[in-house]
Amino acid sequence: MHDKINPTHLERAAYVYVRQSTAAQVQHNRESTDRQYKLAQRALRLGWSEPQIKVVDEDLARSGSGTADRHGFALMTAEVALGHVGLILSIEVSRVARNNADWYRLLDLCGVTDTLIGDEDGLYHPGLFNDRLLLGLKGTMAEAELHVIRARLEGGIRNKAARGELRRGLPVGFVWGDHDGEVLFHPDEAVTHAVRCVFEKFTEVGSARQVWLWFRAEGLAFPSPSHASSELQWVTPTYTGIHQILTNPVYAGAYTYGKTHQERYVDQAGQVRKRVRHVPRSKWAVLIRDHHKGFIDWETYEMNQSRIARNTHPTPHESGAVREGSALLQGLATCGVCGRRLRVYYQGRHATPGYYCAASAVVNGRGQYCMRVSGVRINEAVAQAFLDAITPAGIEASLLAEQNLEADHEAACAQWRLQAEKARYESERAERRYRSVEPENRLVARTLEAAWEKQLGELASAEAELARRLVSRPGPLSDEERMKIRALGADLRTVWEAPTTTDRDRKELLHTLLDEVNISVAGSTAHITMRWKGGTVSEIDVDLKSRFIPPVRTDEETIDLVRRLAVHYPDAVIAGILNRQGRRTALGDRFTQGKVGNLRRYWKIPRFERGAHPEDGELVTIAQAAKILGMAPSTLHRWLADGFIAGEQITPGSPWRIRLSDEIRARFVEAVPEGHVPMVDAMRLLGVSRQTVLHRVKRDELAAVHVRCGRRKGLYIKVLGAQHHLFDNLS
């Protein structure tokens, strides 16, 4: 037994700490890992029993620099602090920790709890001065060794990257060649065609989001690298993926290194962490232009970056992305006083656009804008100047549009052709693999057969989609259609004002030729200075005086009707009558109680007031009459239609009203009067139809009452003996 080992040490556990820095070391450096596991045999020889020996190997493939989470080291340190550990064995100090912070913390705990530390050179007691000094030197040497190793590796990496020969991950569309630093296009034509479609479509639409939406609308897949294998996967494109392609300088033929750097920070839990930060282009470690052949040149890449940078939320001094809205000078208009970018506002029922300067000054205790002006006339003036400037090039633009009509469809069809070709190859390869297996090996044959069937299904889907695209593809333009397109080129104002031309399209056109539109207002005149691409400047003045707008008023017929209805009904009822007749306000809206009240007050029409009842009876609605007479409103409507009682209606669509006189009340009784028979008996006695009987009642040639009680309640007709021959002379 070693002289430093006491019985108190043997009563506690012996920990064997096993660690490798990376997964590659765990996989390939098997000898080092085996040596560390064999330290358990050394613990047995030192006197510890097998149940007391614990192997801590949770930190395999983790760095010992301290930035990574080492759960095994934390668990072992906690056990040392609790006094449960008598010995820590490691093949060398650098395996336990490569930073002095963790190493000296462990030494302090071991010195307090009387814990031994052992490596291949011997056993040490951190509580003894000489052993503590030796362990401290070993920890310092381990940290210095890590620094030297990193310096050598990073120096070699930088030196190789400076020559453009450091092989790192390439984006989709490129592969490494056989020579040092050689970068080639991907051999799969479908992959390179998909990447080219991204740049061609961006040149057309000018927005990464629009490119992404085009791929989604066409149902096209996009290649994506697989982490599990070297093969590419075809997946639904994402906006992030499209944006990374447009902003990656590798596609412009450049070799870059050092676009990011790692920095340390302390998180909320007090742990030291690492994070990646992007650095500006001026601080990139390596930037080699024309390193290889790219999908675009460097000048096109610079223009794309400037275009993407402008497609952001506008700030006071930047234009921002072109968005929807009728303010055509959004992103172009600047203040003629302070030079700031003008912001956009919309007001009113029809969202009339306007421009204002964000610079405000406090005047008399309140904020005032530097400038605020309506944009309707300014938009018209700038649009007219723009159309006058591009009219000579209208014919050429129309011819170019004629050529681009089929280009969009051809790009999608070409991508689907390549997808179908790839699916055909995969199905044929699956077939060859299936036919090469022995028929008796059913376990393998079933798996290959299922893979073959899957590839055949994908081939059928790709060919069906390609056929559908070819069928839906527009045919060539006829001579008449070409003449119409060229005629529109000569009359660009028709295209500008067409309903199919959106405000976003108009803004895109203005941004192609204009750099700035400076606006200054003096009185009722706006002075506009237009700065064109290339440096040409033109100036125009716009009169901001309001034009005469004829007054909008309700038609006379509706006003007269309101005047007649106001005598009998309140505003809410009048609004319902006007809406049922299909009438509208001067602005084309439906009538409401408030709008009828405003109309009535404007034309000084008295409001409805409930006055005294007329002498010949009370004028009430159907609902009120039904409640008074003790019957259902539907019955009153039916008797009103049959003519049993009379009603009044001021205008078509207005409610029916009944004047409840004593005569009307007398027609509704509780018992059957003498001489009255039910309607069925009256029809039999008179020998006529029900409609004829009701017609005679309406002409007062027959008396009738409505019985409200009894088993046979309803309409009763008074039929006398002489009336049996009342209908004898009817033709």
Catalytic sites, residue numbers: 21
Nearest to 119 by CA among 201, 60, 42, 217: 42
Nearest to 652 by CA among 555, 582, 556, 554: 582
Q: Which two tokens stand for residue 611?
A: 């006055």
End-to-end CA distance of the chain: 143
Distances (CA, A) of 548 to 545, 551, 618: 10, 9, 52
Dist CA 383 CA 493 (whole Å)? 9
Dist CA 593 CA 656 (whole Å)? 20
Q: Which two tokens stand for residue 40?
A: 């358990």
Distances (CA, A) of 198 to 239, 580, 604: 12, 57, 68
Nearest to 16 by CA among 73, 55, 42, 71: 55
Burial of 334 from C-beta contacts in 10 A (0-12 / 13-18 / 19+):
buried
SS3 of 229-255: CCCEEEECCCHHHHHHHHHCHHHHCCE
In the chain, how long is the greatest CA-to-CA distance?
148
Query: Given the structure tokens 């003519």, which residue do they identify?
Result: 643
Nearest to 96 by CA among 48, 47, 56: 56
Dist CA 321 CA 308 (whole Å)? 9
- β-strand partners of 118: 89, 123
Helix ranges, 83-207 (H): 93-96, 100-113, 129-162, 189-205
Q: Which two tokens stand for residue 450?
A: 């299922």
Dist CA 599 CA 563 (whole Å)? 10
Dist CA 235 CA 116 (whole Å)? 57
Dihedral in degrees, nearest 10, Cα atoms 473, 479, 484, 486: 100
Q: Which two tokens stand for residue 485?
A: 């397109």
Query: Given the structure tokens 């969009």, which residue do they identify?
Result: 408
Q: Give yes or no for a contact between 670 and 708, defined as CB atoms under 8 angstroms apart.
A: yes
Distances (CA, A) of 354 to 258, 318, 469, 510: 46, 18, 44, 17
Query: Given the structure tokens 């039929």, which residue do they identify?
Result: 719
Q: Which two tokens stand for residue 311?
A: 């497609």
Segment (H or E) for 173: none
Judged by DSSP in three states, 222 sits in strand
Which residues neighbour 42 within 8 Å (Cβ) at sequence distance 6 or greater?
89, 118
Backbone angles phi, psi at 96, to 5 degrees: -75, -45
Distances (CA, A) of 231 to 173, 198, 244, 294, 510: 12, 21, 20, 22, 45
Torsion sign across C-alpha atoms 317, 318, 319, 323: negative
Going through 586-707 in order, the beta strands assigned E by DSSP cover: 618-621, 657-660, 668-669, 676-678, 704-707
